[in-house]
Amino acid sequence: MDQERLQNASEKLRAASETADGSIQRTLYEQSNSIAELAARSQQIHERQLTEQLDDLQTLIETVEEADDTPEDVNEYLHQAKSDLTAAHGESDSSAH
């Protein structure tokens, strides 16, 4: 289930990168790839890795929200991706116990 949520988050970030432009577009694309790689791993996903991805995503969200020229779609995709990552993180927490 973690992999499915991570893949969803990756797809939303990819969609956001297609809507965005400039340096944020590349950053979103790289974040999408990073999450997709994490989702593709067959091994157990560690809570630390999810926490790092959530921290990176939160930084991206703050950067995008501060920019005046960011399309609203980008913000929506970012918040959807954060929701998926947060859910995957919660599942990781409960499976660790």
| Helix intervals (H) in the chain | 2-19, 23-40, 47-66, 72-95
Place of tokens 């995709």: 77
Return d(Cα 91, Cα 6) in angstroms, integer.
11
Q: Tell me which DSSP letter residue 22 carries.
A: T
85, 39 Cβ separation under 8 angstroms: no
Cα–chain center distance at 15: 11
Band the pLDDT of 97: cuts 50, 70, 90.
Answer: very low
- Domain borders along the chain are 2-95
pLDDT tens digit sequence for 16-55: 999 998 889 999 999 999 999 888 875 666 778 888 889 9
Q: What is the pLDDT of residue 64?
A: 87
pLDDT tens digit sequence for 62-83: 988 888 788 888 989 999 999 9
pTM listed for this prediction: 0.75
Place of tokens 């890795």: 49
